[in-house]
Amino acid sequence: MNRTEDRLVTAVDEHAHAWSPREARARFRDGLTGATAGAAAGYTQVNLISVPADWAYDMLLFCQRNPKPCPVLDVTDAGAFGTVLADGADLRTDLPRYRVWRDGELVDEPTDVLGHWRDDLVSFLIGCSFTFEWALSDAGVPLRHIEQGRNVPMYMTARQCRPAGRLRGPMVVSMRPVPPQHLAAAIRESGLLPAVHGSPVHCGDPSGLGIEDLGRPDFGDPVDAEPDDIPVFWACGVTPQAAVMASRPPFAITHAPGQMFITDARDDQYRVG
């Protein structure tokens, strides 16, 4: 796969913010790929991880013990590929790109997982910080990755999640550079949406999270910050993928980082204030 082809969805279609969730999913089902930040304004985006049923309790417990990076919005029955969050959607085809894992190793990054699907897979849909970006934007907070047509940068941290059964691994964070005058708004607005990671876990010096170089994210793309920007870090739903790499379950399917499942749920239904 040529990663340079997977750019921001809004760079492919400047009207992506006006898509309905159903239209967005149909475009992804037809083969459109790219980061979904900025698409389907006002609708909740989620991370996906599907694991065999005999690992599902461990995953559920891992999410319950680590709610900041892993806020669960839905869990499917084994083998089911629909969700109450999106009527008529198919979790096997309706994301821009997937990742397929065997024994903790990435083995494929297809645009659908019809050929990989198993009847014992239980899918977890986990809140995504792209959901609160509309609130940040409405509050005047600039979003550098969207301005620059890039995927949000994501980093593995030195903070270990609380283990659960056979699952362990580090917390992953997403980073957005925020001008000092907008920092309070960024913290306030994201904090009102705890179901999609909520307020930041860290602001300022990345070494506080064990991150050595902001220019080399583990997932996504580096972004160019303005001189006065403060790096702000939110817990990220790619954390279960880090757990897959660390814990090496025999099989898993996830979304490709930044290429989310867009639901029919409205962002404001998760707002607490």
Q: Hey, what domains does the chain have and what are their CATH numbers?
A: 15-127+248-268 (3.40.1640.10), 130-235 (3.30.2040.10)
Distance CA 238, CA 18 (A): 26
Query: Can you give the pLDDT at residue 3?
Result: 42
SS3 (DSSP) at 251? coil
- The CA distance from 161 to 173, in Å, is 12
For residue 121, give both structure tokens.
Answer: 């897979």
> In terms of residues, how long is the chain?
273
Running DSSP on this structure, what letter comes out for residue 151?
P
Angle of helix 53-65 relative to helix 239-247, nearest 10 degrees, comes to 130
Instruction: Tell me the one-letter amino acid at 236.
Output: C
Strands 202-203 and 170-178, bridge-based pairing: unpaired
Among the listed residues 215, 258, 260, the one whose alpha carbon sits nearest the alpha carbon of residue 45:
260
At 231, list the tokens: 């790096």
Q: How far apart are CA 258 and CA 255, in angstroms?
A: 8
The dihedral built from the CA positions of residue 236, 248, 53 and 58, taken in this order, carries a sign that is negative
Tens digit of each residue's pLDDT, the chain (273 residues): 334 345 556 545 668 889 999 999 999 999 999 999 889 999 999 999 999 999 999 999 999 999 999 999 999 999 999 999 999 999 999 999 999 999 999 999 999 999 999 999 999 999 999 999 989 999 999 999 999 989 999 999 999 999 999 999 999 999 999 999 999 999 999 999 999 999 999 999 999 999 999 999 999 999 999 999 999 999 999 999 999 999 999 999 999 999 999 999 999 999 997
| DSSP-derived 3-state class of residue 67 | coil
Q: Could you tell me the CA-to-CA distances from 55 to 14, 107, 164, 165, 192 in Å, in that order?
A: 40, 19, 11, 9, 32
CA distances from 113 to 46, 94, 99, 179 (A): 17, 10, 9, 40
**Residue 69 near residue 212, CB atoms below 8 Å:** no
Q: Name the token pair of 233.
A: 């870090």
Q: How far apart are CA 106 and CA 62, in angstroms?
A: 21
Q: Which strand (E) or helix (H) includes residue 264?
A: strand 261-266
Tell me how far apart the alpha carbons of residues 43 and 53 are, in angstroms, rounded to a whole number: 29
pLDDT of amino acid 2: 36
Distance CA 220, CA 46 (A): 16
Distance CA 201, CA 212 (A): 17
